[in-house]
């Protein structure tokens, strides 16, 4: 499941990513538009263990660690989860980077690459992303990666989100 971009290696999560991912997600800016609560270290570890034990094999995709190729530093987590927002979608896109990595086009580079992999290797037919209406950076990333506005949804306890969608490019 390794995906390489000019600056990033997107690879399967490992249990030893727990510390760095817990640190990234402990920053309020990172979770501001994803429910607002940072996961505990145990929750991050559990999520990684579930990915390794079943999620990757059950679904053929999952969240990936985003590692800078030059330094091997993990700067975020990008990838697909299954979705309850719309069961006709194959997967829901998620992308979170450490604030120190923002503003350099890395999210766009990562999301383009996972979509390419998802449509090409996994033959996904439709991917969605739920974006908080105030999350302008996320919306911009989605738009640059070809996602378009589909509709609003009310997520219990989280409020109104805008759902964006994308299908494989013609010919795939």
Residues that bind ligand COA (CB under 6 A): 30, 33-34, 95-97, 102-108, 129, 131, 135-138, 140-141
**Alpha-carbon torsion angle 107, 20, 100, 134, nearest 10:** 60
- Of 94 and 122, the one with the shorter C-beta distance to ligand COA is 94
Give min distance, CB of 154 to ligand COA, in A. Answer: 16
- Of 33 and 119, the one with the shorter C-beta distance to ligand COA is 33
- Of 123 and 140, the one with the shorter C-beta distance to ligand COA is 140
SS3 sequence of 42-72: HHHHHHHHHHHHHHHHHHCCCEEEEEECCCC
How many whole angstroms separate alpha carbon 11 and alpha carbon 34?
23
- Of 18 and 34, the one with the shorter C-beta distance to ligand COA is 34
């Amino acid at each position: 499941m390794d995906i390489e971009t000019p600056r990033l290696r997107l690879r399967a999560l490992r249990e030893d990513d727990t510390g760095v991912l817990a640190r990234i997600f402990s920053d309020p800016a990172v979770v501001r538009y994803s429910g607002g609560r940072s996961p505990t270290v145990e929750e991050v570890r559990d999520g990684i263990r579930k990915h390794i034990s079943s999620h990757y094999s059950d679904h053929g995709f999952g969240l990936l660690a985003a590692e800078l190729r030059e330094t091997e530093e993990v700067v975020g987590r990008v990838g697909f989860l299954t979705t309850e927002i719309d069961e006709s979608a194959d997967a829901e896109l998620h992308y979170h980077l450490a604030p120190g990595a923002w503003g350099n086009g890395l999210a766009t580079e990562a999301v383009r690459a996972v979509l390419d992999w998802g449509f090409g290797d996994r033959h996904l037919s439709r991917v969605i992303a739920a974006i908080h209406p105030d999350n302008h950076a996320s919306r911009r990333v989605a738009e640059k990666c070809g996602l378009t506005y589909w509709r609003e949804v009310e997520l219990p306890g989280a409020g109104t989100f805008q759902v964006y969608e994308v299908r494989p490019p013609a010919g795939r």
